[in-house]
Structure 1
Amino acid sequence: MPRPVFVIPAPEQASIAVSGGTARFPVRRIFCVGRNYGEHAREMGHDPDAEPPFFFTKPADAVVDDGARVAFPTQTDELHHEAELVVAIGTGGANIAVEDALGHVWGYAAGNDLTRRDMQAVAKAARRPWDMAKGFDNSAVVGALHRAVDGAVPKGRIRCLVDDDLRQDADLAEMIWPVEWVIAHLSTLVALAPGDLIMTGTPAGVGPIKPGQTCAIEIDGLSPARVTLG
């Protein structure tokens, strides 16, 4: 099949770094899980036992590499950090069984689901979509991706530090829906494909980042995801 001729220059492929080399992982879509830690659900005023997981999305080109400096986003006075474990899908599929789900994972990374919290609150109150509160430019900070080994999911602590001030600190085992369950459930809603990322939710302690501050997400055994807000 001949290569298409586009009427405007084709967009650059969004991608994230891979630990240990210069190769990069292409990003197709970014899915985010809401309220996957009980204490975070409670701090946002919700019952963590009341509902199955729900998902929202960010555009692929919202990804930002570790160490970047980005402009403070417009239209917000309350930009919040959300520390998350990121799952990179290497093998696609639909209606994936829970017991098979981890076989579809290429690797894992630390991530930060930046959120215009004030805009999100207004959207919630008006029963409107959250898109502009979550899917804005440079809103998905992702550290270098580490290849999954023998189907193992990262274990240990997930932390967020803002200018060395510890804001979030939890154990990945506190997830309400573990990684394999999230993948299986999401695959009943859409057919997953290679290049999809899943941000698996944030623990309690979300809070503001101000212009000039540096926010670092750390997960045991993974590379950090750091960003400085201009």
Structure 2
Amino acid sequence: MVFDNAGKKSLGLRVGDRLLDLTQLEPNQPADVADVLRQGPNELDRLAGLAGGAPKNAWRPAGDVALLPPTMRVGKIICLGLNYIDHAAEAGLQKPDYPVVFLRAATSLVGHGHPMMRPRCSDKLDYEGELVAFIGKTGRHITRDEALSHIAGYSVFNDGSIRDYQTRTPQWTVGKNFDGTGGFGPEFVSADELPPGAKGLTIQTRLNGHLVQDAKTDDMVFDVAETVALLSECMTLEVGDLLVMGTPSGIGAVRKPPLWMKPGDICEVSIERLGVLRNPIAQEA
């Protein structure tokens, strides 16, 4: 995980309810998961091995730190739309034959516990709980059988969407890139701690404690392996890129009446074995 340490970013390794400050042990260690992945395929294992001999003063309670997005030095943030069958149906659209792809910018990201921002120009801020996959090995023309070897780990995302801006044009870019609308975290979990492709995990979203989305990652139209294979037909997937894998049904825009997030709300996205991403909603000044 990445956390705020007296105004500076630090990299941490959580073991149970304790956090090992890796930046304290190795001051030159980059405090960003994407930069760690760029150091090579064995770096995660090397960092995990530091826990055994770490001094007591390098440990702290994990709950005492303010978390930041696992990476801000991301390459491409590649997002999938309509990637759950029930979500496509609720939007009145057919199951896609090819992934619906759009991009996000790093300026839209906020970490666990930090506010997602409702912008000045719209009150139509919607939630979308999603799985994130981190590319850990660069490749092009990757086969489906090879695809998961290119995934280093996973996290949780809330693809906050400004719906009226999203639908102003056929492409969704503007409505998906308002500053401070993409909740991301709480931490990076390596792929070897999860089922292959993060399949079979429960994904849920709660708004002010009320369950509004509830699905399994098995319900994706295009799973992680197929997404890697299809995207790599056209672009090089590089270490540090993110794949944001789409949301299940239950979004606020299709409810009667619509359910928009408003200042003072709390939105939580949970994915089994990955944790809970919690963000308050605030109004842009």
Q: Which TM class, normalised by the smaller chain length?
A: 0.7 to 0.9
Shift of 1:92: 1.1
Q: Distance in 2 between matches of 1:71 and 1:156?
A: 28
Q: Go from structure 1 to structure 2 and tell me whether the alpha carbon gap of 1:77 and 1:179 turns closer, same or farther (over 3 Å shift).
A: same
Q: 3-state SS of the aligned residue for 2:167?
A: helix
| Number of equivalent positions | 211
Q: Go from structure 1 to structure 2 and tell me whether the alpha carbon gap of 1:16 and 1:79 turns closer, same or farther (over 3 Å shift).
A: farther
Partner residue, 2:196: 152
Q: Distance in 2 between matches of 1:228 and 1:102?
A: 33
1:182 is aligned with what amino acid?
A: T
Does residue 218 (structure 1) correspond to residue 270 (structure 2)? The answer is yes
Partner residue, 2:160: 114
Partner residue, 1:75: 121
Q: Distance in 2 between matches of 1:113 and 1:16?
A: 25
TM (norm. structure 2) is 0.70
Q: Go from structure 1 to structure 2 and tell me whether the alpha carbon gap of 1:153 and 1:74 turns closer, same or farther (over 3 Å shift).
A: same
Q: 3-state SS of the aligned residue for 2:211?
A: strand
Whether the aligned pair in 2 keeps the contact of 1:19 and 1:146 (CA below 8 Å) is no
1:1-230 mapped onto 2 (5 Å cutoff): 20=14, 21-22=20-21, 23-26=31-34, 27-48=74-95, 50-123=96-169, 127=170, 129-143=171-185, 144-149=187-192, 152-154=196-198, 155-207=200-252, 208-230=260-282
Shift of 1:18: 6.6
Whether the aligned pair in 1 keeps the contact of 2:115 and 2:180 (CA below 8 Å) is no
Shift of 1:71: 3.3
TM (norm. structure 1) is 0.85
Shift of 1:70: 4.0
Shift of 1:58: 0.4
Larger Rg: 2
- Point out which structure has higher relative CO (alpha carbons under 8 A, 6+ apart): 1
Aligned identity (percent) is: 33
Q: Distance in 2 between matches of 1:18 and 1:29?
A: 24
Stretch moving more, 192-201 or 59-68: 59-68
Q: Distance in 2 between matches of 1:132 and 1:16?
A: 31
Whether the aligned pair in 1 keeps the contact of 2:134 and 2:151 (CA below 8 Å) is yes
Whether the aligned pair in 2 keeps the contact of 1:145 and 1:223 (CA below 8 Å) is no
Higher helix share: 2
Deviations along 1:23-77, whole A, 9 cap, x unmatched? 53132221101111001001111011x5211210001232211111243223222
- What are structure 1's unaligned runs of at least 5 residues? 1-14
- What are structure 2's unaligned runs of at least 5 residues? 1-8, 15-19, 22-30, 35-73, 253-259
Q: 3-state SS of the aligned residue for 2:214?
A: strand
Whether the aligned pair in 2 keeps the contact of 1:16 and 1:25 (CA below 8 Å) is no
